[in-house]
Amino acid sequence: MKRLLSAVLITGFMILGCNKPSEQDSAAKAPAVLTMPVTDQPANANESISASRNNAITNAVEEASPAIVSITVTELQTGYTRNFDMSIFRFFNQPIEREVQSMGSGFIISNDGLIVTNQHVASESAKTIMVTLANEESYEAELLGSDELADLALLKLKSDKTDFPFIKFADSHDVMVGEWAIAMGNPFGLFADGKPTVTVGVVSATERDFRPNPQEPRVYIDMIQTDAAINRGNSGGPLVNSDGEVIGVNTFIYTGGTSAGFVGLGFAIPSERVQKIITQLKESGTVSLDFDPGFEFEAMTRQHVYRYGLPPVPGLFVKTVNKDGPAFDAGIMPADIIIRIGDQKVASEMHAWALMREFAEGEKMKIRLFRDGKEYETEMVLRRSVAGR
């Protein structure tokens, strides 16, 4: 038994001793063990994580942020206070004026300080317009022009500087559903620290048409829908793509009656329409058609149905037609009911003007109309530049 145990101990030592280097081998391999870069792997991992924080979104935000502005508008509003006249023992309403401030967003589009925002942020009723840049500089701005129908306004900073940071427009025709969308601006007045708020989502849909408030004359066509968070104060700020370029102007949210806050449905005016409108605002301060349609119209009402014996067809009632205009050449006659302009159904008179703004002199505009119980389609060749809406 002792002999067997001794044999086992000797054998085990040999097995373990097979991996034990000789003194000569140890001396040869020692330098290799001492020079192993045991700390390189954690360092490289940290560098990799840090580098991964820089992406298309952070680059776009860095590119666009200097051009984002906060807008504070002061308006004079007329109200009434109820007073009691002791001489006649009666109450009467006495008019009073008070200053009311509101805040919104905007963005600089040229190095001389031109700014785009919404008309409902800055309009003709503004007494003063103050603009704060991302570097915390503040300037007063003047209103060059505004358009209520498109809900856009163009401002100019009162400064001789020609080195303001500005942001470029992208082509909204190239916008893809599902691509990154970055909303930038001043929600709830959080611009006090000099930096715009950034929220990120995707383009949820394009070409959304509707009037969110029937009591207002604004008409929104081809709107870009996004789930990037947009809240009160974001109006007028840009919706930016991953290249740091403007694809739209953040304008309103849809709550579906669930709350007064954001629920994932925000809408922006596409950059193509924005550029068309601000070009005219810069030149003349107003927006007008560059062609004469050659006819006058108004929305169909119950009075038209009773007075002229017309069917209750929704659309536009043609009042007059100019014999020298394109409408006459296209066969349009008084008492016709226009039901479509282009590919869109006409919802109101304001909607018709908004649709016609999408056409230019020299183009052809399809018109679908209702006459004598039948629908007809014709085509107007647009010509003659006139001053108007």
What is the model's pLDDT at position 75? 86
309 belongs to a structural domain: yes
The gap from C-alpha 110 to its chain's centroid, in whole angstroms, comes to 18
Q: What are the backbone angles phi and psi of residue 54, rounded to the nearest 5°?
A: -85, 120
CATH of the domain at 373: 2.30.42.10
What is the model's pLDDT at position 15? 29
Same domain, 275 and 342: no
**Contact at 8 Å (CB) between 337 and 318?**
yes
Same domain, 263 and 200: yes
Same domain, 72 and 152: yes
**Six-digit token pair at 118?**
């919404």
Q: What is the count of structural domains for the chain?
A: 3
Same domain, 265 and 183: yes
29 belongs to a structural domain: no
163 belongs to a structural domain: no
39 belongs to a structural domain: no
Domain of residue 325: give its range: 295-381
Same domain, 178 and 217: yes
What is the model's pLDDT at position 26? 42
Same domain, 261 and 229: yes
Please identify every stretch of the chain with a pLDDT value under 50, giving residue numbers as ranges: 1-36, 38, 387-389
Pick from 216, 251, 284: which residue ends a domain?
Answer: 284
What is the model's pLDDT at position 360? 86
Same domain, 248 and 184: yes
* Active site (catalytic) residues: 120, 151, 235
Cα distances from 123 to residues 60, 75, 152, 349, in angstroms, run 30, 9, 9, 22
What is the model's pLDDT at position 1? 42
351 belongs to a structural domain: yes
Share above pLDDT 90 across residues of the chain, in percent, rounded to a whole number: 53
Same domain, 141 and 183: no
Same domain, 279 and 176: yes
How far apart, in whole angstroms, are the C-alpha atoms of residue 287 and residue 222?
19
312 belongs to a structural domain: yes
Pick from 112, 129, 157: which residue ends a domain?
Answer: 157
55 belongs to a structural domain: no
**Six-digit token pair at 325?**
């205009």
CATH of the domain at 147: 2.40.10.10
How far apart, in whole angstroms, are the C-alpha atoms of residue 105 and residue 187?
8
Cα distances from 125 to residues 78, 119, 145, 153, 303, in angstroms, run 12, 10, 12, 12, 35
Closest C-alpha among 149, 166, 121 to residue 216? 149
Pick from 157, 183, 199: which residue ends a domain?
Answer: 157
Same domain, 195 and 261: yes
Same domain, 108 and 81: yes
35 belongs to a structural domain: no
What is the model's pLDDT at position 30? 44
Same domain, 306 and 273: no
